[in-house]
Amino acid sequence: NAGVTQTPKFQVLKTGQSMTLQCAQDMNHEYMSWYRQDPGMGLRLIHYSVGAGITDQGEVPNGYNVSRSTTEDFPLRLLSAAPSQTSVYFCASKDWGYETQYFGPGTRLLVL
């Protein structure tokens, strides 16, 4: 079991560029989510999905898109990167009805 994997580990973007952060899990979890972590802010929920084909917004969804075509994958798209999106992004997954979320190692994004 690889658990939750995220790519890339690091990324530098220029303002206005677009990119996709990849997230995959091999635990057959229905629930997947994306968080961003900023200094002194804890983790804030961006988008989440309760199963393939179903996504919903979290606390800070603006500037991000998601889709869930398979159970395993939950990519996060930045449409037009802004410096305010400089952050560490974590993907997580869990079984429906259980509390334990398994987090990926994170993607560190710098937008210049």
Nearer to another protein, 19 or 43 (CB): 43
CA quadruple 95, 101, 104, 106: dihedral positive or negative? positive
Q: Which stretch binds another protein (CB under 8 A): 18-26, 68-76, 78-86, 92-100?
A: 92-100
Span 29-88, contacts to another protein by CB under 8 A: 31, 35, 40-45, 48, 50, 58-60
What is the size of the binding site for another protein (CB under 8 A)? 27
CB of 34 to another protein, least distance (A): 12
Task: Assess 4 for contact with another protein (CB under 8 A).
Answer: yes
Nearer to another protein, 16 or 51 (CB): 51
Q: What is the DSSP string of the chain?
A: ---EEEE-SEEEE-TT--EEEEEEESS--SEEEEEEEETTTEEEEEEEEEETTEEEE-SS-TTEEE--SSSSB--EEESS--GGG-EEEEEEEE-TT---PEE---EEEEE-
Residues that bind another protein (CB under 8 A): 4, 31, 35, 40-45, 48, 50, 58-60, 90, 92, 94, 96-101, 103-106
